[in-house]
């Protein structure tokens, strides 16, 4: 590796949600923690970042958290960029001109990568690792996360499954977490479902279904976009909702959650019976939680997200019994297509397969990870590129 400047730089622009910063922050932590790499994470919106890292100072130009140097990416850069061993532009963000100039002029150039969004589509394998020739005679490589052995892999910390298993071994852990989050009235045997979704009419339909169930159902919802779809059920405008509030109707109890850091969010997913997640990072963390889930995929133009959803569902259901597979897929489609009646119908139908789906959710993380996680594959990719 580059002996003169061994550090890695990751540049991230926050688009409109938490996914871009969520993924890069996770990767940065893992590279620093497991590979002892000096990592600089450059972020253009520290205020948004602060929602998932509450100890962050949104005004500081440079600060250290969990072994990572977090730098404010403003124009011009408040701290000069020095080329290191690796330069990652996350999700095709446009690097500042002075960074590109510094790379071009460097005596030892960094390995330059564009970290792409995760997809289960087949074409990913063919594109992963391809170079794109840049002005100044340097290659930029496409790094494609994915589910196959030929792709860039999936972000997963080495000790994650052991920590999850220890957490799930005793219901004391989830009850202590609920108490810490200010949630009241949840018994160990009650059904708990977390919801971190975009707006969808499917949510209201599920609420109608849950309130008529014979046993309590608790929906744990962090303050955010999901509540926009539950307006008729709220006692106040969304802006006035406060963490700890509880909205009861029949056997349904909706709890308003604070947003926590990523570790806290993992623990929440581990503590639930079912998770409704979205985007990219929470989608993956729900899989690692080893619990059944619905994926509310980030909407794209011309419904392209449904192609990505189908690709993932095909993989996830590969070795599932056909009737269970069909039911779970229909539920996910109905949720994403905002079909209220279909969501209720498929949720009800899925209850018949509860234990088989749970067993699959437990096995899936082991199968999905294959030989190596994303950080491990990335470090190997960089080593090869430097040869």
Ligand X SMILES: Cc1cn([C@H]2C[C@H](O)[C@@H](COP(=O)(O)OP(=O)(O)O[C@H]3O[C@@H](C)[C@H](O)[C@@H](O)[C@H]3O)O2)c(=O)[nH]c1=O
Nearest approach, Cβ of residue 117 and ligand X (Å): 6
DSSP result, 191-221: EEEEE---S-HHHHHHHHHHHTSSS-EEEEE
Nearest approach, Cβ of residue 296 and ligand X (Å): 9
If one asks whether residue 69 binds ligand X (CB under 6 A), the answer comes out as: no
Whether 280 is catalytic is yes
Q: Which of 266, 267, 280, 373 does the annotation list as catalytic?
A: 280
Contact call for residues 327 and 346 (beta carbons, < 8 A) = yes
Among 44, 116, 281, 373, binds ligand X (CB under 6 A): 281
Whether 89 is catalytic is no
Among 17, 66, 326, 337, binds ligand X (CB under 6 A): 17
Stretch that binds ligand X, among 75-83, 125-133, 241-249, 281-289 (CB under 6 A): 281-289
Distance of CA 108 to the CA centre of its chain: 34
Strand partners, 134: 138
- In this complex, which beta carbon is closest to ligand X, that of residue 45 or of residue 211? 45
DSSP result, 127-187: HTT-EEEETTTEEEEEE---SSTTS------TTHHHHHHHHHT-HHHHHHHHHHTT--S--
Among 9, 20, 116, 267, binds ligand X (CB under 6 A): 20
Contacts of 107 (CB under 8 A, 6+ apart): none
Nearest approach, Cβ of residue 55 and ligand X (Å): 13
If one asks whether residue 278 binds ligand X (CB under 6 A), the answer comes out as: yes
- In this complex, which beta carbon is closest to ligand X, that of residue 138 or of residue 230? 230
Strand partners, 51: none
If one asks whether residue 364 binds ligand X (CB under 6 A), the answer comes out as: no
Residue of 136, 143, 268, 118 lying closest to 193 (CA atoms): 268
> What CA–CA distance (Å, rounded) separates 328 from 295?
11
If one asks whether residue 145 binds ligand X (CB under 6 A), the answer comes out as: no
- Does residue 194 have a cis peptide bond before it, meaning omega lies within 30 degrees of 0? no
If one asks whether residue 199 binds ligand X (CB under 6 A), the answer comes out as: no
If one asks whether residue 196 binds ligand X (CB under 6 A), the answer comes out as: yes
Among 9, 89, 116, 280, binds ligand X (CB under 6 A): 280
Strand partners, 252: 217, 249
Among 15, 311, 342, 368, binds ligand X (CB under 6 A): 15
Nearest approach, Cβ of residue 240 and ligand X (Å): 19
Contact residues for ligand X, defined by CB under 6 A:
15-20, 22, 52, 117, 196, 222, 259-262, 265, 278-283, 298
Active site residues: 20, 280
């Amino acid at each position: 590796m580059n002996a003169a400047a061994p550090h890695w730089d990751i540049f991230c622009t926050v688009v409109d949600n938490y996914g871009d910063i969520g993924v890069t922050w996770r990767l940065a932590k893992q590279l620093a923690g497991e590979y002892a790499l000096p990592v600089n994470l450059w972020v253009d919106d520290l205020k948004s970042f602060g929602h998932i890292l509450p100890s962050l100072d949104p005004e500081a130009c440079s600060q250290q958290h969990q072994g990572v140097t977090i730098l404010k990416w403003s124009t011009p850069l408040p701290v000069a960029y020095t080329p290191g061993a690796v330069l990652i532009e996350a999700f095709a963000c446009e690097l500042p001109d002075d960074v590109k100039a510094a790379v071009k002029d460097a005596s030892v150039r960094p390995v330059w990568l564009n970290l792409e969004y995760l997809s289960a589509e087949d074409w990913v394998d063919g594109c992963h690792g391809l170079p794109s020739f840049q002005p100044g005679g340097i290659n930029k490589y496409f790094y494609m996360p994915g589910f196959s052995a030929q792709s860039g892999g999936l972000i997963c910390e080495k000790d994650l499954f052991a920590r999850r298993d220890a957490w799930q071994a005793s219901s004391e852990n989830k009850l202590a977490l609920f108490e810490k989050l200010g949630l009241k009235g949840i018994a160990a045997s009650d059904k708990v479902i977390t919801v971190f979704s975009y707006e969808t009419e499917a949510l209201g339909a599920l609420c109608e279904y849950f309130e008529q169930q014979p046993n309590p159902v608790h929906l744990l919802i962090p303050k955010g976009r999901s509540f926009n779809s539950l307006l008729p059920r709220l006692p106040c405008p969304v802006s006035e909702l406060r963490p700890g509030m509880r909205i009861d109707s029949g056997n349904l109890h909706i709890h308003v959650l604070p947003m926590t850091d990523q570790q806290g969010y993992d623990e929440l997913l581990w503590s639930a019976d079912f998770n409704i997640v979205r985007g990219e990072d929470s989608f993956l963390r729900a899989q690692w939680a080893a619990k059944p889930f619905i994926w509310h995929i980030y909407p794209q133009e011309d419904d392209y997200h449904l192609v990505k959803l189908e690709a993932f569902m095909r993989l996830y259901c590969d070795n599932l019994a056909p009737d269970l597979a069909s039911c779970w897929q229909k539920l996910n489609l109905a949720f994403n297509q905002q079909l209220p009646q279909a969501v209720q119908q498929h949720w009800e139908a899925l209850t018949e397969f509860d234990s088989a789906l749970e067993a699959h959710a437990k096995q899936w993380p082991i199968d999905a990870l294959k030989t190596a996680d994303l950080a491990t594959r990335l470090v190997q990719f960089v080593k090869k590129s430097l040869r």
